Structure 1
Amino acid sequence: MNHKSLFCLFIILCFAFAKAQKLQTSDSLVIKRKIYQATRVTTAPKIDGEPFEKFWDAIPTGGDFVMIQPTNGQKERDTHKTEFKIAYDDNALYVAAFLYDNHPESILRQFSQRDQIDVQADVFGFYLNTYNNQINQTRFFATSANALGDAIAEGNREDYSFNVVFKSETSINESGWYVEMKIPYRTLRFPEIELQDWSFQIIRRIRALNEEYTYNFVDITQGISTQYDAIMTGVEKINPPLRLNLYPYATVISDDFDGVHTTSYNAGMDLKYGINDAFTLDASLIPDFGQVAFDQVILNLGPFEQLFGENRAFFNEGTDLFNKGGIFFSRRIGQKPSGSEGIELFDDEDIINNPNNAQLLNAVKVTGRTKDRLGIGFLNAITAKTEATIENRLTGERRTQVTEAFTNYNMFVIDQQFSKNSSVALSNASTIRNGSFTDANVTALVLDHNDKNGANSYRSELKMSNRFTPTGAETGFSIEARWRKTIGKWRPSLAYFHRNKKWDPNDLGRNFQNNTRTFAADLKYNQFTPIGIFNRFDIDFRIRHRRQIDPDLHTNSEFNINPSFYTRERLAFGANFNLFSRELNQFEARKTGQVVRYESRFFTSGFVSTDYRKKFAVDVRMSRSKRFNDVDESYNFSFSPRYRFSDEFLLVYRMSWNKNDDRISYVTTTDNEEPIVSRRDTHSVENTLSGTYNFNNKQALSLSFRNFWSRATFSRDFNQLAQDGSLVPTDYILSDDFDPDANFNVWNLDLSYRWRFAPGSEASLLYRNSIFNFDNQGDLAFQDSLNELFTQPSRHNISLRVTYFLDFNDAKRWFKA
């Protein structure tokens, strides 16, 4: 694809933007907000999930729900009406709802565990905004099988890592299903004023009909859902209780690896304390993350590190504020020591101990938002000094080498909300290391603005990074600017991204590119309501133009069409069509200023996903990429069947196959620091199996298995690189002690039993089996590699962890009794 073609495509898309803009200039966001008055009560209802009992007789009924999808704006069915009541006292908010269904036998009721609400079960959701700012919500869910869920939302972002202790019970009878909730004030944050200004929303999802309803109408063609809350009146003269929750825990771990058996014990406590009506302190004292999920490790031959998701609850819960500016990545805390791979060895020395992670000593965070809509977040974590132990094999003498210093990580955010769903935030992340190590500081200023008609969204970010090394300091910056239309079927957007040569937030953040600028244009068409056989569909057009900043050169351009379709029968399918210009890759050569040239290519993919409501469903995805005038090509295929044996038992298998032939790839660097490249073939196969047997909504037996195999074979026709990135043949010969070929195989199996024996309290028993192998046998087939894997030592790990939830207010009542 040449520059003229890309320019023509860009002009065509700009005309489409202008047309879409003209069509929508008269649109404006007008929201009608229902009003419901909550009732103060003197006695609390019994939360038993039984249909409206006498307690609820005097409480006003709310109803008249409206469909959000598939036919947005349609009134609720007469056969599936929803009625609710809300009451409160000095301790909690109480919600009851009757979700009528004239065919109660058709109500799907798959069992699941905490926060697993996206299963084949009906859902009731109560969303509460205690500041009535049309931005933030605290969301509480219950399914028809009485699985609980909770989340916090800001605009379109929903975070299920948020966990509080509330109570819900459900039941099903000949008229439908019924739900009762008790939401203690300790789970909420609200101003200490006489008359509360709250808003709320209630949602109902009917899986069998593939329909969703809300109490206050949500127009999905404009704005965002949090702007459509109803008003709650009548809540007055309540005092926020003392919010002090303790989570003491104890853990015992038995580990057996390569003939060495160890047993360890650990105990500690997490603490959650409400400093005032707005702010909460969370602390992890003697942290223990022994039962977090295993990482999805792959064979990484690229220029960038492989990053893993955060599985530690402390760093997941209530961290939405810390995402402002995108400069905080919590996996940096307690990560692999930065000096663990650069240990200097003398003759006859071996490394006998090299810790994989820096030990986290403690972590605290403070988060909250005032009645004036000012959000503040602060996080501090400390990791211990990490040392590798080295032994002289002849003398037995040992020495240590520091691989990571004693380190203090800090994150601070202030976020002021204003107008309708707009905010400006200032974030700062700092990493301070003891001794002659690198310190770092990154600052971000972020503006999110939505105009008063809710028709346009604007976002800008200005970020600066500072790294202080023993030899000096480096300062870099990053700029982002975005605009998008937020109403109507046609939604254009424009964006610009700029990261200069020294931009580096990686000490506490993550970044894959610098010295780049990108121009982006998108146009998305959304068919929000049913048409023909489709419930909805959307088509996304994208253009990207990328350049290196210093020196200025065009690195790559891309044009993409991405249609997705969803039928009335819950069949989803779509495709992706990409054209890429020739690419000058800035990073593959691992040498500043040196690019690798790749020819233009096309990429196409497609997917099909069948109806999850049926016992058997399947997901299929495939793709192909091919460079023009080059032998480089790749294929990918994944197949994932799932079978729901019963409402208690679901099993999901996934196989992914990937092959990439003749890719120009980095091999090594010569003594005079010139990169050597050659053609590389890679082949990988991944098999995963996950399943859960739910005894009930409080006890489950879960299986998680993954085997990932990958091999890489490099051609011995080596090349150096010309200044323009083209290949220059060389007579380079590999040394005897270096082979770039790779055979990588990893096996992980987790079998766990979890029992939520009391609200907020849990016992978990975990068996973990893992095997790992890496060598240079790049010609091994899958079966041979698997056989080789099983010759490696296997780790067997059994751990038991018990966590107990203790509310200080309940403890006071115990002592008074």
Structure 2
Amino acid sequence: MQFKFILTWLVVVLAFAKAESQIAQDTLDIKRKVYRATRVSTLPVIDGKPFEKFWDAIPSGGDFVMVEPSNGQKERDTHTTKFKVAYDDNALYVAAFLYDNNPKSIPRQFSQRDEINAQADVFGFFLNNYNNQINQTKFFATSANALGDAIAEGNREDFSYNVVFKSETSINELGWFVEMKIPYRTLRFPEIEKQDWSFQVFRRIRALNEEYSYNFVDITKGISTQYDALMTGVENINPPLRLNLYPYATIVNDNFNGVQTTEYNAGMDLKYGINDAFTLDATLIPDFGQVAFDQVVLNLGPFEQTFGENRAFFNEGTDLFNKGGIFFSRRIGQTPSGFGNVNLLENEYIIDNPNNAKLLNAVKITGRTVNRLGIGFLNAVTEKTEATIENLLNNERRTEITEPFTNYNMFILDQQFSKNSSIALSTASTLRNGSFTDAIVNALVLDHNDKNASNNYRAELKMSNRLTPTGTQTGIASETSWRKTRGRWRPRLAHFYRDKNWNPNDLGRNFQNNTQTFAADLSYNQFVPVGIFNRYDIDFRIRHRRQIDPDIATNSEFNINPFFSTRERLAFGGDINFFTKNLNQFEARKVGQVVRYEPSYFTGGFISTDYRKKFATDIRLGRFKRFNDIEESYNFNISPRYRFSDQFLLIYRLAWDKNDNRISYVDTDINDNPIVSRRHTHSVENRVSGTYNFNNKQALSLSFRNFWSRATFSRDFKELDSNGAAIPTDYTLTDDFDPDANFNVWNLDLSYRWRFAPGSEATLLYRNSIFNFDNQGDITFQDSLDELFTQPSRHNLSLRVTYFLDFNDAKRWFKA
């Protein structure tokens, strides 16, 4: 019955969206400025000094309007902005004149690629090569000449997108200045005689805490990409072949517990423009040895611990694959599914059990047609992974497959319509060799904004099919929502549904099934300065959750979250949350068995001071307490930062958390009954990060993290009745099982990065890591740290060199 309702709701929304798309000629009544770019036959010198004769004949654009804080206000006479755009068959050329009557006040903190939120002014040039009011390719430069690039869909930005373009800046007594060269190899656009492009120009004045745009952006309605200006004059482009190669070589020396190894590796990434709209990316013999450490913690919960993606190939340009939320790239090359289930016979032990499946290669194709159909395809292959087992008596060895040869595939079609809406169909499949589980997950996603940018309608319908050796398991999930996107008061209604067989985890990520959630939100937004405040907003949230089979209410929550930001860049806010009785479906680790928790509340708040000052800090604290129960917890975070100079920034973070008397899973007895007891946990995390920038191409970076956590379980064990209440039991611990835990990890990265040429980089990285886990649940932090330093330490030194090679440059070299 529930599924029929969801399907009917989806059909109604789709029909409404189609009707809207037929009558909507434009999404908003926007006054769109028009700028005509100039074709040139000579080239400018990209040196950040746009005062040469080349630019004299190019018309300028100006009359910028404030985005924040006083939305709609004209630019200051003391801080006017002008820009010019030229083009030829190879690239766009942009000049920007960012005047400032007090150039000594222009902050110019050094930073590296994409770190545009440093204490420096920012210039941005944003292009939409399809004029669809949804997508943008963004190019940034700071007053300290740091580069940045990103792709945007609506208000979502993805800075993992990296292309090779050139930008230089300069400062004199009039202000600061920018010149950019944006090669067409960085862009995708239709192969037509007259290009239909839109664009936006952005300026951030850090000392004044103000942001401006060329075309006015009304932040009270719609999304920023809907407010682009129009660019005319770009005609008869004959772009060059888009073929870029990124060969690399690595050398790694590893020393752990007295064993030292040295490995060499080489490979190549490739980027090829299949046609005017589509690009092929491939990684051949991939090497991810220098990706960041995962932020591991002591995980005592019912769900797996997952981490963010640190591999550039699976981050860059993958926004299409996120439609429907069925793609989680960390599944590719993850811990083998049979890692912890190796079958040992008598007198056998494991001598080798790889904890990651090796990625052999990966390719992806992405792009959008002239009819605004986005197509994405990703395929990755991991090799067979085996555990090696030895017999103690006869020394004979055998292997057992923990993960077979596996193919991961994503395919998506995303049709944009009505200027600012889209409908997408995506498929994720996992195919494993042999008698292992295969999986196919499909998602249909509608994201529709009405013609006045007043309402957003969103719907998702998803189906998972897991083909196991014993049969096929089919699950259904859906999401439906409506939210107002205009005005100060913005309500939202939503419904989320996951049936008991929903399982996208072969290539996706999902933590809960057999559950549905009803959501209602209301936010009040003050967009322009009032009194001492630059802006503020208050969010009200209500959630009601139910188990689907059988249908029971599991819990409800009510939240109030205010946020305030003053004119002096002081931000602060709070969290006030109330939770009703909770029948937790997952803590017991048994289907159909709930754990009952009493009603509770959480109060907390945060403060963040002005980052423009040399010293700033972030502080957050909170308290959680259950009514009619002894469980309570406290947390405290503080993160001071000090900018010693425009080159050196150091940040420290301390996180402290203590939770007492939580009813928690311990074990399952011989009768398959979950056993629980009161658990006490305490954790401390220390983190230090610092960067010394020699310039915007060379930096020395430090990243250190020590995370300690302990857990102690009361020996007053309980079992659970049918209502989830804890009742007495005669369960006792066995000699070989102790649920208490002491977890401590130490990771240190020290790296030197040098971008020695456009798109080319050398990274020298030293790593030191130590890990310890035991059952000393009552241990102190200092004693745990002493225990940690008795463990073997891993020392890892690696050098990676990547070189960017443009095929067109190579042709010119050979001709010369």
TM tier relative to shorter chain: over 0.9
In 1, distance between residues paired with 2:242 and 2:353? 42
Aligned twin of 2:347: 348
Q: Determine if contact 1:632/1:663 at 8 Å carries over to the other structure.
A: yes
Aligned twin of 1:23: none
1:608 counterpart SS class? strand
Q: Determine if contact 1:192/1:240 at 8 Å carries over to the other structure.
A: no
Aligned twin of 1:532: 531
Displacement of 1:731: 1.3
Aligned twin of 1:39: 38
Alpha-carbon displacement from aligned partner over 1:68-99 (angstroms, at most 9, x marks no partner) = 00000000000000000000011100000010
In 1, distance between residues paired with 2:715 and 2:418? 63
Q: Determine if contact 1:29/1:455 at 8 Å carries over to the other structure.
A: no
In 1, distance between residues paired with 2:60 and 2:310? 41
Scaled by the length of structure 2, the TM-score of the pair is 0.96
Aligned twin of 1:174: 173
Aligned twin of 1:99: 98
Displacement of 1:399: 1.2
Displacement of 1:447: 0.3
Aligned twin of 1:52: 51
Aligned twin of 1:237: 236
Alpha-carbon displacement from aligned partner over 1:262-306 (angstroms, at most 9, x marks no partner) = 000000000000000000000000000000000000000000000
- Structure 2 residue 514 is matched with structure 1 residue 512: no
Mapping of residues 407-806 of structure 1, within 5 Å? 407-806=406-805
Identity %: 80
Mapping of residues 142-221 of structure 1, within 5 Å? 142-221=141-220
1:786 counterpart SS class? helix
Q: Which amino acid aligns with 1:39?
A: T
Unaligned residue ranges in structure 2 (runs of 5+): 1-26
Q: Which amino acid aligns with 1:124?
A: F
In 2, distance between residues paired with 1:506 and 1:228? 38
Q: Determine if contact 1:190/1:240 at 8 Å carries over to the other structure.
A: no
1:84 counterpart SS class? strand
1:603 counterpart SS class? strand
Aligned twin of 1:377: 376
In 2, distance between residues paired with 1:551 and 1:65? 59
Displacement of 1:635: 0.4
In 2, distance between residues paired with 1:151 and 1:313? 14
Displacement of 1:815: 1.1
Alpha-carbon displacement from aligned partner over 1:560-595 (angstroms, at most 9, x marks no partner) = 000000000000000010000000000000000000
In 1, distance between residues paired with 2:669 and 2:384? 34
Q: Which amino acid aligns with 1:326?
A: G
Displacement of 1:392: 1.8
Displacement of 1:436: 1.4
In 1, distance between residues paired with 2:388 and 2:779? 34
In 2, distance between residues paired with 1:754 and 1:349? 46
1:784 counterpart SS class? helix
Q: Which amino acid aligns with 1:125?
A: G
Aligned twin of 1:315: 314
Aligned twin of 1:296: 295
1:296 counterpart SS class? coil
Q: Determine if contact 1:420/1:450 at 8 Å carries over to the other structure.
A: no
In 2, distance between residues paired with 1:395 and 1:777? 36
Displacement of 1:615: 0.3
Displacement of 1:356: 1.2
Aligned twin of 1:387: 386
Scaled by the length of structure 1, the TM-score of the pair is 0.96
Displacement of 1:747: 0.3
Unaligned residue ranges in structure 1 (runs of 5+): 1-27
Q: Which amino acid aligns with 1:697?
A: N
Displacement of 1:461: 0.1
Q: Determine if contact 1:352/1:391 at 8 Å carries over to the other structure.
A: yes
In 2, distance between residues paired with 1:669 and 1:44? 74
In 1, distance between residues paired with 2:730 and 2:105? 72
Displacement of 1:401: 1.0
In 2, distance between residues paired with 1:67 and 1:537? 18
In 1, distance between residues paired with 2:580 and 2:333? 41
Alpha-carbon displacement from aligned partner over 1:296-351 (angstroms, at most 9, x marks no partner) = 00000000000000000000000000000000000000000111111122232221
In 2, distance between residues paired with 1:630 and 1:547? 23
In 1, distance between residues paired with 2:339 and 2:776? 25
Aligned twin of 2:250: 251
Displacement of 1:53: 1.7
Aligned twin of 2:6: none
In 2, distance between residues paired with 1:672 and 1:480? 38
Q: Which amino acid aligns with 1:709?
A: W
In 2, distance between residues paired with 1:166 and 1:599? 57
Q: Determine if contact 1:29/1:222 at 8 Å carries over to the other structure.
A: no
Displacement of 1:686: 0.3
Mapping of residues 44-123 of structure 1, within 5 Å? 44-123=43-122
2:111 counterpart SS class? coil
In 1, distance between residues paired with 2:726 and 2:639? 40
Q: Determine if contact 1:639/1:656 at 8 Å carries over to the other structure.
A: yes
Q: Which amino acid aligns with 2:420?
A: N
In 1, distance between residues paired with 2:393 and 2:648? 58
1:325 counterpart SS class? coil
Aligned twin of 2:20: none
Q: Which amino acid aligns with 2:785?
A: L
In 2, distance between residues paired with 1:605 and 1:502? 37
2:616 counterpart SS class? strand
Q: Which amino acid aligns with 1:491?
A: R
In 2, distance between residues paired with 1:277 and 1:191? 6
In 1, distance between residues paired with 2:186 and 2:29? 32
Alpha-carbon displacement from aligned partner over 1:483-538 (angstroms, at most 9, x marks no partner) = 00000000001000011010000000000110001000000000000000000000
1:326 counterpart SS class? coil
- Structure 2 residue 812 is matched with structure 1 residue 813: yes
In 1, distance between residues paired with 2:670 and 2:275? 62
In 1, distance between residues paired with 2:83 and 2:674? 68
Q: Which amino acid aligns with 2:392?
A: R
Q: Determine if contact 1:563/1:576 at 8 Å carries over to the other structure.
A: yes
In 1, distance between residues paired with 2:722 and 2:729? 15
Question: Number of aligned pairs?
Answer: 791
Q: Which amino acid aligns with 1:620?
A: I
In 1, distance between residues paired with 2:535 and 2:451? 28
Displacement of 1:240: 2.5
In 2, distance between residues paired with 1:232 and 1:645? 43
Alpha-carbon displacement from aligned partner over 1:206-248 (angstroms, at most 9, x marks no partner) = 0110000000000000000000000000000102221000000
2:324 counterpart SS class? helix
In 1, distance between residues paired with 2:195 and 2:29? 24
Displacement of 1:650: 0.3
Q: Which amino acid aligns with 2:812?
A: R
In 1, distance between residues paired with 2:258 and 2:672? 43
- Over the residues paired in the alignment, what is the CA RMSD in angstroms? 0.8
